[in-house]
Amino acid sequence: MNIKKFGSLVLSVIVLSIGTLHADEGMWMLPLIQKLNIKKMSEIGFKLSAKDIYDINNSSLKDAVLHFGAGCTAEIISKDGLVLTNHHCGYSSIQKLSTVDHDYLQNGYWAMNRDQELPAKGLTVTFLDRFEDVTKEVSEAIAGVTDPKARREALKTISDQLSAKAVGTNKYLKGRVASFFGDNQYYLVITKTYNDIRFVGAPPSSIGKFGADTDNWMWPRHTGDFSMFRIYADKENNPADYSKDNVPFKPKKFLTISLKGEQQNDPAMVIGYPGRTNRFMTSYEVKETSEITNAITILVRGVRQNVLLADMVSDPKIRLQYSSKYAGSSNFWKKAIGMNETFEKLKVYDRRAAEEKIFTDWVSADPDRIQKYGKALSEVKTAIDDRAKLQTLLKYYTEALYPIELTSAASRFSPKSEEDSKDRVAARTAPAVTPADFYKDYNAATDKKVAKAMLALFKQKVAPADLPDFFKTIDAEFHGNIDAYVDAMFSNSVFGSEEKLKAALAGDKKELANDPALKAAKNISEAMTKYNKELEQSRSMYAEGQKLFIAGILEMKAGQAIYPDANSTMRMTYGKVLSYSPKDGVTYDYVTTLDGVMQKEDPKNWEFVVPARLKELYIAKDFGQYALKDGRMPVAFLTNNDITGGNSGSPVMNRKGELIGTAFDGNWESMSSDIIFEPSLQRCINVDIRYTLFIMDKFGGAGYLLNEMRISK
């Protein structure tokens, strides 16, 4: 296929598909709303124009939606830059601000004036300025470049050139080229990032994480999963580093909040930054995901989390240090469990195989198609088969060895030669963290327990020839005793504490070369680099096969609904408020209330403790303007919007584009939704905005924040 023509083919395929489009499925690109979505949206009750949602010349809803931190979404809800997102999205920042004496995670926090808003070090929010289709330019720049490294370099060069041209002299804007449809289409994404972000408030974990691991990914849900921050800017409203002279950001657009609530079948729209979906995944990849990626994640994280949780429960300081680490690990651990379960229940492998049979028959029916797409699936299958062993090894390395924090500290904080830096790039890419940041949330005794458990499991699961070299030291010097090796490494390494590290860096740095943790870190890095290099050929073959397969699918399904996989760019999904029936005889209502919180209360289980103040408000029925007509206090509700990881914190809006809730989770019965969308089962779980404001106002005593919001009753 002539790649220069592919962009117009993609658009024509989707435009033709609109008549058969399911309103609830699809993560749609905002520049195409007028052509693809607005007619159907109007039919189901939305009162918005395409330009109300996305307009590069005037303020629109996209200007009120932010990429929050490293992988969430947030929305602006006031004229003074007040930001609403999920509690679990703000979790890491809140944890960093917390101490044992001022534990904002455990106890919650509300600033009672601007001076009490706390700088959230390292947190950023990013606005979308605009999208530009650059498929033609990128395709021409990389045409004929087959070597993977050279292709990456060519792509970076054209991306830098296009970004520089689009941004011009505006030092606050940045551009990047994003790939769509398996490298068949490209868009330039122009953004602006603010980095003076301050923590305004959040409920205690007993509300913000109510139900914790047990309720995660489950419905009915009763979690007040929200937190609030504020953007600060310089006096010209531009991004600026933290300064006391900065002022609250004045947004182009902020969302009106609706207290009218939602009813079954009401229109509902979500705008956000979904991370990754794989809706073009083949049966070969389904098997790989289930048997390698998910299986290893479930096994290794389960072991590590048991170690962490035991120490967290026993010591408040350790609980605070490891809360964010545990939560991040546990979320994807449980998702892997649910995904494998739904793979089996929904027969995802069989369905993908059946679709591939249809594709193969279609290709075989025409000589031109055979020429264009005949090798697509065979290349994908060969690449998956060839990389199985290496993928398994790399997954064990990343899941079992990366979480050992002592070797991570050695890799991060040792003086690096130029050669060391080059070697470590492929194996371990960690965000910039200072020693003070690291050791604040580090407990050596806990890490030592993790190291012993991880090394024992790693040795059990990985063949002797594929073990990193420090296992030879374990055998030669410690007679194969992993626990003894770990004890010695922790005793003798300077990376066990900030004090030891400072002393070592002040002395003869050459002595660090013999540090046991640094030696282990280098062994891990060397092995990872080696395996990644060995994977390059199969990765290249897979990319080419996938690109051809997706191009063929688009041609084969001309006239049907096709949309690109999520890739952390802003998308819109629209549908309805909707209940569901997961199995025979069971129907779940679309709404939960505070009654359910009280029904779940268990003072002996930390996951289901209810704060005394919340019980007081419940008993008194002191719900103010936030109650339902029947007097109950709403907590969460369901929509059938198409979301995934990264949509956490996304605004859920009604037919007028008013804020009615915040998306925070998906449901257990559709855990394979990143691969296959199930209209009857897939649901988006949302915090009702009325519960958010009730907790902020009545529970937290921060009702003064209502004065800067625009509220529709």
Question: Tokens 């959230």 appear where?
Answer: 120
67, 87, 88, 222: which is the annotated catalytic residue? 88
Residue 562, both tokens = 């096709």
685 closest CA partner among 341, 270, 89, 326: 270
19 closest CA partner among 679, 573, 564, 560: 560
Q: SS3 of 103, please?
A: coil
Question: Tokens 């490298």 appear where?
Answer: 183
93, 648, 650, 672: which is the annotated catalytic residue? 648
Question: Tokens 């296992």 appear where?
Answer: 471
Across-strand partners of 233?
Answer: 247
Question: CA 519, 525, 531, 534 torsion: positive or negative?
Answer: negative
Phi, then psi, of 130 in degrees rounded to 5:
-170, 165
CB atoms within 10 A of CB 306: 11
Q: What is the DSSP letter of 696?
A: I
**Kind plus residue range of the DSSP H or E element containing 488:** helix 482-492
Amino acid (one-letter) located at 192? K
Which distant-in-sequence residues (6+ apart) come within 8 Å of 349 by Cβ? 283, 286, 287, 290, 343
Q: Any catalytic annotation for residue 225?
A: yes
Does 220 sit behind a cis peptide bond, omega within 30 degrees of 0 on the bond before it? yes
Which distant-in-sequence residues (6+ apart) come within 8 Å of 527 by Cβ? 397, 427, 466, 468, 469
200 closest CA partner among 288, 306, 76, 318: 76
Q: SS3 of 651, please?
A: strand
Positions of E strands within 158-218: 173-180, 185-194, 196-202
CA 654/CA 641 separation, integer angstroms? 12
CA 444/CA 496 separation, integer angstroms? 6
14 closest CA partner among 4, 27, 1, 2: 27
CA 289/CA 291 separation, integer angstroms? 6
**Kind plus residue range of the DSSP H or E element containing 455:** helix 444-461
Amino acid (one-letter) located at 235? K
Q: SS3 of 56, please?
A: coil
646 closest CA partner among 70, 41, 187, 253: 70
Across-strand partners of 188?
Answer: 132, 177
Q: Any catalytic annotation for residue 648?
A: yes
CA 168/CA 155 separation, integer angstroms? 20
27 closest CA partner among 269, 255, 218: 269
- The b-or-e profile of 110-121 (16+ CB within 10 A means b, else e) is bbeeeeebbbbe
570 closest CA partner among 131, 273, 132: 273
Please tell me the total number of residues recorded for the chain in this structure: 713
Residue 218, both tokens = 């489950």
225, 266, 515, 665: which is the annotated catalytic residue? 225
Phi, then psi, of 685 in degrees rounded to 5:
-95, 130
Inter-CA distances, 277 with 273, 548, 643, Å? 12, 18, 9
CA 457/CA 454 separation, integer angstroms? 5
CA 574/CA 641 separation, integer angstroms? 6
Phi, then psi, of 680 in degrees rounded to 5:
-75, -20
CB atoms within 10 A of CB 223: 27
Active site members: 88, 225, 648
